[in-house]
Structure 1
C-alpha cells in the first residue's frame, strides 16, 4: 500500500507539479501514520507556497479531505 497527498489551491483545483503530475502524488508513504506525520511537519511551508488544502489517498483511493492548511485565526 502507498499513501500520498494531493494538493489543492485556493480555487479548489488540483495543483500540478512541473511534470504535469498531481502535486504531492509522487511522494509516497508506507503507512497512513507516516503520511499524516509528514503533513503535520510540512503544512506551514505548503500553505506558504500556495497549497490551500490537501486530500489523502491510499493507492489512488480517496481516504479523506480536503483538509484545510490555513492557519487557525
Structure 2
C-alpha cells in the first residue's frame, strides 16, 4: 500500500464574483493567487462577468476559493 498514489495533484477551486458562484477552475494543488486569477480570466464562464469591469478586491483562500469584487 503506497499512500502517494492517493494524493491528488489538482483541485477544483470555486470562483465567486461579487459573492456569487460563477464557475469552477481545475488548478494545480499549490497554485498562487496571480496564476489562479490568470486562469479565471481565460475561462469563458468567468470572463464574461469580468469584461469591462475593474477588479476592486481579490480574496483567495488557498486550496478553497477565489472571490473577486468588481465594479
**Structure showing the higher helix proportion among its residues:** 2
TM-score (norm 1): 0.36
**Which one has the largest radius of gyration?**
2
**Structure showing the higher strand proportion among its residues:** 2
